Amino acid sequence: MAVINFQSEVKTATVVLKPHAMRLTRDINDAEDLIQETIVRALTNEDKFQEGTNIKAWLFTIMKNIFINDYRKKSKRNTVIDTTDNLYYLNASTTISNAGERAFVMNDIRNALMKISNELRVPFLMHYKGYKYHEIAEQLNLPLGTVKSRIFFARKELKDMLTADYS
């Protein structure tokens, strides 16, 4: 195949490479890089192309192989190999415990609890502390269904209040 003819065939086939590259990478910039790398490889390996072969299929194969090889390189790059005797790096915690965020959340929960009515709060707190439904019903002298519905409505109100705070 003539050099000019091969280059024009590759150029016209690149139009169909873009959707395939987008499916592989799911990012426009990565897809364009993948297409560019595919074209460069195809042009540098022109001598390996056999005339009569479907050029689009050949380019798709090159693209797929480049994508797979890059994926393998990236996954190896992110792999940590710990050769210490006690596996220090794998067992070491990379986060520092900070109770500040937890304290803010608990304050928000307490404030929300204080905003709901007493008739919902008391059964909810008893259930939270571990009491069974029937125990709560006996202590508050309420029917079992009423206790369950009050706990349900307390949860619903708390959820609504807390999601409004964090959205």
Q: Do 114 and 67 lie in a common domain?
A: no
pTM as predicted: 0.47
DSSP 95: S
* Residue 148 is assigned to a structural domain of this protein: yes
- Residue-level pLDDT at 122: 93
Residue 25's domain comprises: 3-77
* Residue 42 is assigned to a structural domain of this protein: yes
Q: Nearest to residue 123, comparing CAs of 96, 106, 144, 92?
A: 144
- For residue 102, how far is the Cα from the chain centroid? 23
* Residue 123 is assigned to a structural domain of this protein: yes
Whether 167 shows a pLDDT value over 60: the answer reads no
Q: Do 62 and 107 lie in a common domain?
A: no
State both tokens at 45: 């390996």
Identify the band that residue 139 occupies on the pLDDT scale cut at 50, 70 and 90.
very high
φ, ψ dihedrals at 151, nearest 5°: -65, -40
Whether 70 shows a pLDDT value over 70: the answer reads yes
